[in-house]
Amino acid sequence: MPYRILLLFAHPRFEDSRTHQALVNAAKEIPDIRIRDLYELYPDFNIDVSVEKDQLLQHDIILWQHPLYWYSCPPLLKQWIDMVLEFGWAYGPGGEALAGKYFLQVVSSGGSREVYSPEGRNRHTIREYLYPFEQTVRLCKATYLPPFLVQGTHKLGEVEIASYAMDYTRFLKYLQHDGPISDLSGFESSNLWLATRNETR
């Protein structure tokens, strides 16, 4: 039985984002992935918590797909985390609803991998900037998987974006069929794991 994937997508200016349009279109091609476009659903930030909780319960792997703004997610996704992951439901005493599920971030950043490194201008890796999300997932007794990253988007051309989209498709299919593959957790990012799969094939 395939793994049930929920893609929670948050982008305040989706219509202007070449990268995310390519990624979302790729995800749409794959059957049985539930995509929820948060900015389209909740333009007034009035999140329907019970619907969101219900969605979480119906899926095994939850993806947070968003651009990186000021080293964090767009505000609506933060709002989503604040509202939906309730005390006593997602964490704290009796908060077992998400136990055993998997969370994975799909993040785009304008700066390249070099910029996000101890030697680079941003001084830390993206993985380090995403620690709050990793810890959030951990607190909910779920497993945080290495993020799928699209970096240096400012300089990406059409061809490169298309190749990212193809990688995304392949990755989502792996996730759907094989689940969180046992050696995935050891990698810095899902992209790197995907690269090893490429070589072994």
Partner 1 sequence: MEGNFLLQSIVFLTAAVICVPIAKKLGMSSVLGYLLAGILIGPYVLGFIGGEGGDIMHFAEFGVVMMLFLIGLELDPARFWKMRKLVLGMGLAQMALTTIFLVAALWVADWSWQSSLAIGLAFSMSSTAIVLQTMKEKNQLHTTGGQSAFSTLLFQDIAVIPILALLPLLATRTNHLSGSSHQLLPENTPAWLHAGVVIAAILLVVLAGRYLIVPLLRVIAKTHLRELFTASALLLVVSIALLMEMVGLSPALGTFLAGVVLANSEFRHELESDLDPFKGLLLGLFFLSVGAAIDLQLIGRQPLFFLSILGAVVGLKAAVLWSVGKIFRLRNDQNRLYTLSMSQVGEFAFVLLSFMGTLQILTGETLNMGMALTAMSMTLTPVLLLINDRLLIPRFGRQKKEEKGADFIDQRHPVIIAGFGHFGSTIGRFLRANGVQAVYLDHDSDQVELLRKLGFNVFYGDASRADLLEAAGAKEARILISAIDNPVANRQLIHTVQKHFPHLKVFARARNRYDASDLYDAGLEEVYRESLDTSIRLGVDVLKWLGHRAYSATRSGQNFRKYDEEALRELLTTRHDDKQYISLARKQIEQQEQLLRAERFEKTATGDHAWDSEPMRQAARKKSVE
Residues that bind partner 1 (CB under 8 A): 11-17, 39-41, 43-44, 67, 69, 74, 76, 110, 153-155
| Residue 193 neighbours by CB under 8 Å, 6+ apart | 146, 181, 183, 184, 187
> Rounded to the nearest whole angstrom, what is the least distance from the CB of residue 154 to partner 1 in the complex?
4
Q: Looking at beta carbons only, is 18 or 123 nearer to partner 1?
A: 18
Q: Cα 127–129–133 angle (5° rounding)?
A: 85
Q: Looking at beta carbons only, is 74 or 147 nearer to partner 1?
A: 74
> Rounded to the nearest whole angstrom, what is the least distance from the CB of residue 194 to partner 1 in the complex?
25
> Rounded to the nearest whole angstrom, what is the least distance from the CB of residue 19 to partner 1 in the complex?
9
> Rounded to the nearest whole angstrom, what is the least distance from the CB of residue 121 to partner 1 in the complex?
11
Given CA atoms 80, 85, 87, 91 in this order, what sign does their dihedral have? negative
- Cα–Cα distance, 20 to 109 (Å, whole number): 11
CA distance readout (Å), 62 to 6, 74, 111? 5, 17, 25
Q: Looking at beta carbons only, is 17 or 72 nearer to partner 1?
A: 17
Q: Looking at beta carbons only, is 40 or 82 nearer to partner 1?
A: 40
Neighbours of 119 (CB within 10 A): 7
